Amino acid sequence: MNRTALSELISVATVAAHRSFRGAAKELGMSPSGLSHAVAALEQRMGVRLFHRTTRSVSLTEAGEQFLARVSPALREISAAMDEANMHRATPAGTLRINASESAALRLMNPVGYEFLRRYPDMKLDIATDARMVDIVAEGFDAGIRQIDHVPQDMIAVPCSPAVCFRVVSAPSYFVDRATPKVPDDLRAHECIRGRLPGGTPYKWTFGQSGERIDIEVPGALTLDSPHLILDAALHGIGLAWMSEWAVADHVASGRLVSVLDDWSEYASGLCLYYPGHRYVPAGLRAFITVIRDCGASELSGSA
């Protein structure tokens, strides 16, 4: 196989993983038009269309799915061979692709992500945030970062943080003309900033005390799907927010946020990095795991 042919196969696999010529081109260091021409040239030589293309989406044709199913194992073997050779370098090189929720990515970037880039200057870190759980193998990721409870059972999990406490907070201005809630049921009379699940449904706020667990579907005029936006709304006194302690601890300590219902705070499972155990672990991923362990759970339990 010549170099051009291998490059074309990698191009097809990358476009299929991203479902986008633009996203694939960014990973491969090419222009979207150059990548499109390369794939089109391969399709022309083969005499078969591998992708359905529209202005909004890219998807594999039936022939493309069959073709990729046959070549993907070979590409994985080639990648593994190159990565094994990479082990003989003084430091690993290449790109590590990780899928994570936005909150998980925020939590792990400092200190793990930044330390990883400082320690391994020949590595690139590509983190894609997505609220929904994705198939990291099918979509071309080396690993994922999620709460431990959400990790598929067939994956190897590396704990990244201890259990996290969730707190109800808002700016002091919110409480100027409102009573402070004493029990979770009092939230029904308050303006709450609701968070939305990937499917579109607002998630319930969870509380616990003396073995009792309460799930409340809170009222509120504002519903958001980004931790950044929820925190910003809380800081502006728009309403009460239910957020992880690490996300709000600095603001509570500075007085910009007030925490209520602390006696009812509930803990959720901590974060972990996970990856498939049935294939070769890239040197870059092993290095990332080393940084996680070196940083330690105690450092990761603080605010980011």
Q: Let me know whether 134 and 281 are in one domain.
A: yes
Q: Let me know whether 132 and 275 are in one domain.
A: yes
Of 44, 14, 51, nearest to 30 by C-alpha is: 14
The Cα–Cα gap between 299 and 151 comes to 23
> Of 32, 58, 86, which one is at a domain's C-terminal end?
86
Give the distance between the most distant pair of CA atoms in the chain.
Answer: 74
Q: What CATH number has the domain bearing residue 15?
A: 1.10.10.10
Evaluate whether 41 touches 49 at the Cβ level (below 8 Å). no
Evaluate whether 115 touches 291 at the Cβ level (below 8 Å). yes
pLDDT digits (tens, 9 = 90+) for 115-173: 999 999 999 999 998 888 888 887 888 999 998 888 888 899 999 888 889 999 999 99
Q: Let me know whether 36 and 61 are in one domain.
A: yes
Q: What CATH number has the domain bearing residue 260?
A: 3.40.190.290
Domain span at residue 148? Answer: 94-163+270-300
Q: Let me know whether 191 and 123 are in one domain.
A: no
Q: Let me know whether 118 and 77 are in one domain.
A: no
Q: The tokens 């894609």 sit on which residue?
A: 128
Q: Let me know whether 15 and 76 are in one domain.
A: yes
Q: Let me know whether 253 and 113 are in one domain.
A: no
Q: Let me know whether 181 and 240 are in one domain.
A: yes
Output the CA–CA distances (angstroms, integers) from residue 190 to 38, 137, 178, 233, 239, in the order listed: 57, 43, 8, 15, 8
Q: Let me know whether 260 and 193 are in one domain.
A: yes
Q: Let me know whether 139 and 278 are in one domain.
A: yes
Q: Let me know whether 263 and 201 are in one domain.
A: yes
Sequence-ordered alpha helix ranges (H) in the chain:
3-18, 21-28, 32-46, 62-86, 102-108, 114-119, 227-235, 245-254, 283-300
The Cα–Cα gap between 126 and 283 comes to 15
The Cα–Cα gap between 287 and 290 comes to 5
Helix axes 3-18, 62-86, angle to 10 degrees: 110
Q: Let me know whether 75 and 137 are in one domain.
A: no
pLDDT in tens, the chain (304 residues): 556 677 888 888 888 888 888 888 877 778 888 888 889 888 888 899 999 988 778 899 999 899 988 888 888 777 767 666 655 565 788 899 999 988 888 888 888 999 999 999 999 999 998 888 888 887 888 999 998 888 888 899 999 888 889 999 999 999 999 999 999 999 999 999 999 887 788 889 999 987 788 999 999 999 998 889 999 999 999 999 999 998 899 999 999 999 999 999 988 888 999 998 766 788 899 999 999 998 874 445 443 3
